[in-house]
Amino acid sequence: MLSKITRRNFFNKSLGLSAGALFFKNLPVFGIRIKETTPMIVTSHTNQTGQLAMEAGWKILAEGGSAVDAVEKAANVIEVDPEDTSVGYGGLPNENGIVQLDASIMDGKTYNAGAVACLENIKNPASVARVVMERTDHILMVGQGALEFARKWGFKEEDLLTEKSRKIWLRWKENLNKYDDWGPPDHLRDKQKIESYWKNFPEVEHHYGTTNVLAVDKNGDIAGITTTSGLSFKIPGRVGDSPIIGAGLYVDNEIGAAGATGRGEDVIKSLASYYMVLRMKDGRTPQQACEDALHMIIGKYSNVNPDFYPSEKFIAINKFGETGCATMRSNRNPIMSVRTGNGYTKYEGEIGYPDK
């Protein structure tokens, strides 16, 4: 696979072309790999629900359906899992105990996007985002307006707080402390102090968490979704990167798609998903593009707080069906779920900074 990308670079250089554009437009000429590795659907979720989601999305792709239908179907499976405290129903709430969801969708074929932020009481924010995308001239709807819009389109309202997520929130309330989200940004605080504080409360779940779903269909069209309950115990009204096109998600039908999870504040400032797609346009593989985005963010912090290593995880795919996945730091390599005609597999990516 790498040799093909090298060939592409050679092709561009030898003809003096701007990186990417012509090669991708001429894909059918070189299209052997499309048959080999696409259709394809991937997600950052690697648990059993992630696998079920891949099977649901794959069924659509295998029957010749569109990437946009496949990503919606797959994301919905993850959103309704009550055990998952990072996405949709059962997600961890904001500091007032209210679950507020963010989601975005992008359809490469139509160069169209839709998103919702701070949406309450609706189990499938990705589907609301799709209606915003297809049935309005808007891209991002928030809060009460997004809820009213969803109601008008017949989405059912329900309480998204499960017993499990309510209990976790209560534990957090009981341990409320000065290391919540009030005060200066984390990268200007003593990160080690914050981390050691949380080590004293291992039973208090406190996390980021989101899912990205990206797909290429049989026509080579690409789509993606990012959906989340966002940062647990966030200040009410906080919007993360997931519903921001270019930050938590980006799709370019001629190149590929990328999605982000982790500290949304970093991803918004760096427009990380857009950056990854641009890197792929410049000839980088999805794996390299994910690592490039990590390095870019760490580089930005190096003069401000060199000890600050945030917790993003990036995934990316290109039109050929190549995949990439990287995280800033971790005690194990990041993984993502991949479903193609060859079955379900887990792709293992790289840790950007293993020594930290």
Active site residues: 210
Residue 355: Cβ-neighbour burial (10 angstroms; 0-12, 13-18, 19+): exposed
- The site for ligand ASP, by CB under 6 A, has a size of 12
* Contact present, 285 and 322 (Cβ < 8 Å): yes
Considering only CA atoms, which of 301, 296, 353, 299 is closest in space to residue 327?
A: 353
Q: Which of 207, 228, 247, 212 is nearest to 349 (CA)?
A: 212
Q: Per rule CB under 6 A, is residue 240 in the interface with ligand ASP? A: yes
Residue 38 within binding range of ligand ASP, rule CB under 6 A: no
d(CA 52, CA 152): 30
Q: Does 209 bind ligand ASP (CB under 6 A)?
A: yes
Residue 337 interacting with ligand ASP (CB under 6 A): no
Residue 228 found at the interface with ligand ASP (CB under 6 A): yes
- Selected from 105, 133, 225, 231, the binder of ligand ASP by CB under 6 A is 231
Residue of 210, 285, 327, 337 that binds ligand ASP (CB under 6 A): 210
Q: Is 172 in the site for ligand ASP (CB under 6 A)?
A: no
The one-letter amino acid at 258: A
CB of 264 to ligand ASP, least distance (A): 2
Q: Which two tokens stand for residue 2?
A: 């790498």
Name the β-bridge partners of 85. Answer: none
> Can residue 241 be called a binding residue for ligand ASP (CB under 6 A)?
yes
- Of 34 and 258, the one with the shorter C-beta distance to ligand ASP is 258
Interaction pattern, residues 7-26, with ligand ASP; x per rule: CB under 6 A = --------------------
CA atoms 135, 98, 230, 269: torsion sign: positive
d(CA 56, CA 337): 13
- H or E element at residue 40: strand 40-43
Q: Which of residues 256-285 bind ligand ASP (CB under 6 A)?
A: 261-262, 264
| Shortest CB 158 distance to ligand ASP, Å | 22
Q: Which is nearer to ligand ASP, 19 or 296 (CB)?
A: 296
Binding site for ligand ASP (CB under 6 A): 208-210, 228, 230-231, 240-242, 261-262, 264
